[in-house]
Structures are given as structure tokens and as C-alpha cells.
Amino acid sequence: MTTAETSTLHRTVRVPFAGHRAGRWPMPHGQSNVFDWMPNEGTGAVFVVHADLPAGRTVDDVLEAAGALVSRHEGLRTVYEAGPGVERAQVVSRSGHVEVTLLELGPQARDRTWITDPPRPFDHGADFPVRMAVTTDAGVPVRAVFEFSHTVADLVGANIVLDEFVGLVATPADRTAAPPAWQPADQAEYERTPEARRRMARTLDYWRRQLHTLPPCLVSTPARRQGPPEHRLATLRSTPVAAALAEIAKRARVTPASVLVTTTATLLCWWTDTDRAMLEALYSNRALPRMQDFVGSIAQSALVPFAPAPSFHETLRQTHLNIFNAYQYAYFDATAVEELVQSIGSQRGCQRHRDLVINDMSTSRGGVFDGRAGVPVRGTEVESGLETQTTGPVQLVILRTRPTVVVGLTHDVRHVTTDEAAELLWSMERILLTAAERDIDYDRLGDLVGLDRVERGDNWVEIDSAWIDLAESERVLREATGDPYARVVLRDGPVGARSLVGYAAPADPRVDPRDVHRAIMATLGGRHGATAPDSYVLCAHPPRRPEDPAAWQAQPFRAAGTGR
């Protein structure tokens, strides 16, 4: 039986569920990863999906389907133990009640896409991580709207749940079917097996190689403006680009998403005059064993090496291979990867910048920034300067690839202005329309780009494919040492090798190179172009002419070393 609070337009119904087991387990990696980033996301930690319900079904069908759904999926009846000093765990209830909200909206029931706006955060220690609502028109169920915490499902997992719910509403006989074989608790137990540990070791080896060799920053350019981060969104909708995308993907035997990723990365490398780059592609991990229909949060980042080839089609083929190779190493213990990032960042003197993040939602019914993503347009439309909740220097979100391409480019206006973001999207259109007809030489890409290459002053140098701002790096050294006269000097080595030496007379005479390096790494933050010197020379006093590198080099020193 169900009990209900009744009102004219709104009813909250408590629906019983009864699963196969209860218990307390550790969190699997993907779930624990969510708790790492969730405090920084606000309402972004909650997302909404919806689906139309089959005709001819009743409210009782909907409520029975909801009970069967929660009985089947342990993640939907889980609370979490997390917080400072707490060993993270998932706690599954075997039986209980879940609430379903019924919204009588009349003819507007077919348009509802939200439960609360904005979505309310979940109390993960007390609330099950899903909220379910069903809209009705004259008492007839029309649409299901679910709010999910990212702890219980990524977008793919949420759509699996929603599709299953629609099927349970349509087919009463399926409501007693056996539960899925693989639950988050099973995944947590598997991750502690020798097989899983070997896979994790291979994944960490892959990340270690990429972090050691790829430039840590792609958008290493002079700041367009000073001040705190300010993020904006530019969007492109295009039917001609969709046709071109399909033709290029077919000819190269790659996915449309690979074409868009390649185009964006190629364009940014050309614009910033960068030879190599590190891309971060969000991946569903559904190709892993037992994960195709898994209801859980397992989407994580794939670290993809990128380098433009002499021609666009050659770049496309290589990038496609690199993406799918990186996908093998996209499920991991985020704490272990973050330790690698910090350790290697300290060794290299610059932390990794997540400068280009790719989120392909084209196969998972994502809406995000666009309620009319599926509406065709005649030509190409570009909008810019839109508000966004997403953060990061540049993020490409792919919403649709057919019949209309819909992409969004989120950017920090300190590094990419609103006008530049719009022109990058128009340039993307020109590149794709041209590539559908013929190959494009990278050396001639500028003919299709409506922006000049980024200009850098004499204070910028390129070291190992990374652009370094010497003046900003010097400011960081001065802040860390308390020496307003500290200098960063470029040193040429054998076979074209270059490195940076930091000369300083620290305000505190007790500090050594290791102390200085730690202080620099703590203050680098998100400064693009700034890096720690490769080595340090610490003197008791600055020379009489501190602006002259030769004067520093002739000065007696009290300590020297890499600080690593």
C-alpha cells in the first residue's frame, strides 16, 4: 500500500521497495571520485533527466514501476558516509519507502523538465540520491522527471535508469524481473582483487608517462584581462556542419565526436602556436567488463596526447587512435592520480592545467546549456557571452551531432575573450566544411581561421613545447623568497636544451632550495605561463646590479640545487 500527502496539484507518494540485500561496503573509485570534486560544484552536483511515458498507463502503474526500479538498483536506495576523518562507505537499505512526486499540470505536463529549479543539493548521509517526479494531464501520467546526485549515476547511468523505468511502466510483467547482476557494492569488492589492482597499476603508469612528457598548459597565452576567473559560454548550432561532420567521419572511419575534438584541438594549437597538447576527454567507461548497463557513477577523464600532423585527415586518424587508447586508462583511483599529478607537477615545476576538457553528451540525451538542442536550424548560428556554471579555461561540450550539430565552448575570459570564442566556433565551421571537400594542410590552416595567432612579447620563451612567461615566473620567485630583486635567467644547454635558473637572496636566510621550491609550487595556482625554475642559486645578498644576470652569476652563493 502507498500513503500520500494530497493537494490539488501536488502529491507526494511513499512507495515501498524490497531489494535482495542490505549492507555497508567501501565506495568504488568512480563514486569516491565524485565526493572529491562535488564540494566545488554546488548545484552542479545534481542533474536532471526526463522521458515521456507510454500512453494508456495509470498512476498505479507508475508507482509500481518506481518500487520495482528502486528494489532492483541498490544505488537508488543508498546513503553515504563521507567527510573529514571518515572512511568513505556506501550503506544500502534492503527495504523501505521512496517518495514519488505527482504533478498535475494539465497540457503543460508534456513540457516539464525540472522538479525544483535550481535542483536542491542532496544530504547524502540521510537522503537516497534520486528524486522522482511524474507529471500528469487530467490524472494520466505523461512524463517522468528524475533528479540524480552524481554519486549514484553519471549521465549514461541515469539514462539507463530512466529507460528502464519507462519499460517497467509499459510492461507490468517485467516488474518482478531479477535485479541486475552487477551493483556498486560488487564493483567496490572487485576493485580490491589482484586483477583490478594490476589494471590500476597499468593505468597509473599511463598517466605517469603522459604527465611527464606532455606540456602542462595549452592556453599559455598573455592574459586578455586581469582579475578573478570569469566564465562565459559560446554555442554553435549548424545543419551544414552536421552534414560535413558525417561525411568526414564516414571517410576517415572515425566517430563524429573524434572529428569535433580534433578540430577544436587543432584550432587551439594553431592559434596558441603550440606543438603538443594534453586533452582531457570525459569518458563513460561503459566498455569495461560488466559495465554496459551498470547503474553507478563511473565516468572519469581520459588523458589524451595531441599533436597536429602535417594534414587535417592525418591528425584526425592519429587523434582518434589516441582517444581510444586513452579510454583504456580512464577508470582509476582519483586520489592516486591526484598524488601523481602533484608529484610530477612538483618535479616539472608546473602543475597540470585542465585547459581543454571534452564532454561528449551526444549519445546520452544531455541538455546542459540548451533546451532546444534537437531543433534543426537552416544554416549556422553562433552565440557568445552566455552565462554558464562550468569552470575551466576551455571546455567543449558536444550535445548533438545530427541532424543539427550543437556544441558549446565554455571559456575563461581572462584567456579567451567573448569575441575570440565566437570566432573560434566560426573557424571550426569553415574548417569542417572545407575538410568535407578536401584535406587541409596544417601550414595553411590560417586561411580558414578568423583570428591571428597569439602574439607573445620578448619575455615569453618556449621550453620543451611549453610557452613560459619569464616575467610572471620571476614575480612568483620574488613572492616566494621575499626578495624583490630575484631573477629568473634562461640558460641554454647542449643540443638546444633550455632551462631556467632562479637567483635570489631570500628574506629568511634559513631557507634552502627545497623550501623555495615548495613555496613556489604553493603560490603558482592557476597562473598560465608561470613555472618554477629548474634550479635555484640562493645568495646571502643581492648583487649591486640585480637587474644584470651576470651580476647574479658572479655573486657568492650559500646554497644551490633543484629543490626537488
The residue length of the chain stands at 564
Using CA atoms, how far apart are residues 211 and 336, in angstroms rounded to an integer? 14
DSSP string, 369-395: T-TTTTS--SSEEEEEEE--S--SSEE
For residue range 535-555, what is the model confidence (pLDDT) as tens digits? 999 999 999 999 999 999 999
Enter the DSSP assignment of 404: S
* Residue-level pLDDT at 3: 42
Measured distance CA(260)–CA(254) in Å, rounded: 11
User: What local confidence, expressed as pLDDT, does residue 234 receive?
Assistant: 97
Asked whether the bond before 542 is cis by omega within 30 degrees of 0, the reply is no
**Are the beta carbons of 352 and 278 closer than 8 angstroms?**
yes
In the predicted structure, residue 227 carries a pLDDT above the cut 50 = yes
Q: What is the mean pLDDT of the chain?
A: 93
Which domains does the chain carry?
A: 9-190 (3.30.559.10), 214-448 (3.30.559.30), 460-561 (3.30.300.30)
Residue 372: per-residue pLDDT: 58
Q: CA 78 to CA 55: how far, in whole Å?
A: 31
Q: Among 118-122, 279-283, 399-403, which range has the highest average pLDDT?
A: 279-283
8 Å CB contact between 519 and 507: no
Q: What's residue 321's pLDDT?
A: 97
| pLDDT per residue as tens digits for the range 93-120 | 999 999 999 999 999 999 999 999 888 9
Average pLDDT over residues 126-146: 97
Cα 389 → chain centroid: 13
Q: What is the mean pLDDT of residues 476-493?
A: 95
- Report H helices in 8-77: 29-37, 59-72
> In this model, does residue 249 exceed pLDDT 80?
yes
User: Is the Cα dihedral 240, 241, 247, 250 positive or negative?
Assistant: negative
Per-residue model confidence (pLDDT) at position 366: 61
CA 335 from chain centre, in angstroms, equals 16
C-beta of residue 283 within 8 angstroms of C-beta of residue 448: no
What confidence score (pLDDT) does residue 34 get? 93
- Distance between CA atoms of residues 14 and 2, nearest Å: 6
pLDDT in tens, 3-50: 443 344 889 999 999 999 999 999 999 999 999 888 655 455 899 999
The pLDDT score that the predictor gives to residue 179 is 67
Residue 198 pLDDT greater than 80, yes or no: yes
Give me the pLDDT at residue 2, please: 43
Beta strand ranges found along 138-230 (DSSP E): 140-149
Give the count of alpha carbons within 13 A of 109, CB side only. 22
Report the alpha-carbon distance of residue 335 to residue 148 in Å, rounded: 24
What is the three-class DSSP state of 136?
Answer: strand
Q: Are 274 and 467 in contact (CB under 8 A)?
A: yes
Whole-angstrom CA distances from 108 to 100, 102, 104, 112, 200 are 19, 14, 9, 7, 49
From the list 285, 303, 284, the residue with the least C-alpha distance to 204 is 303
For 130, the grid coordinates are 534520486
CA distances from 255 to 88, 176, 330, 383 (A): 38, 38, 18, 26
Task: Give the mean model confidence (pLDDT) for residues 456-482.
Answer: 94
State the cell numbers at 394.
Answer: 576551455
Q: What is the pLDDT of residue 461?
A: 96
What residue has cell string 507490468?
Answer: 172
The C-alpha atoms of residue 422 and residue 97 are separated, in whole angstroms, by 49
Q: Read out DSSP for 471-490?
A: HHHHHHHHHHHT-TT-EEEE
Q: Is the four-CA dihedral 384, 466, 254, 447 of positive or negative sign? A: positive
Among 318, 344, 87, 82, CA closest to 213? 344
Read off the DSSP letter of residue 314.
Answer: H
- Tell which wins on pLDDT, 236 or 369: 236
pLDDT of residue 260: 97
pLDDT at 59: 97
Closest C-alpha to 91, from 1, 132, 147, 152 = 152
Q: Buried b / exposed e across 178-205, counting CB within 10 Å, b at 16+?
A: eebebbbbbbbeebeeeebeebbeebbe
Helix (H) or strand (E) holding 335: helix 334-348
Question: What is d(CA 55, CA 42) in angstroms, rounded to the nearest whole number?
Answer: 37
* Full-model pTM: 0.91
Q: Which among 83, 102, 307, 80 has a CA at the least distance from the CA of 184?
A: 80
Q: Decide: 144 and 167 in contact? Cβ < 8 Å.
A: no
Q: 142 pLDDT band (50/70/90 cuts)?
A: very high
Backbone angles phi, psi at 418, to 5 degrees: -60, -45
Among the listed residues 477, 430, 413, the one whose alpha carbon sits nearest the alpha carbon of residue 221: 413
pLDDT tens digits, residue range 349-400?
Answer: 998 999 999 999 887 766 656 655 567 788 999 999 999 887 778 999 998 9
Cβ(117)–Cβ(133) below 8 Å: no
DSSP count for the chain of H helices, then E strands: 13, 22
**What are 305-325's pLDDT values in tens digits?**
999 999 999 999 999 999 999
Classify 279 as helix, strand or coil.
strand
Average pLDDT in the 71-82 region?
A: 96
SS3 315: helix
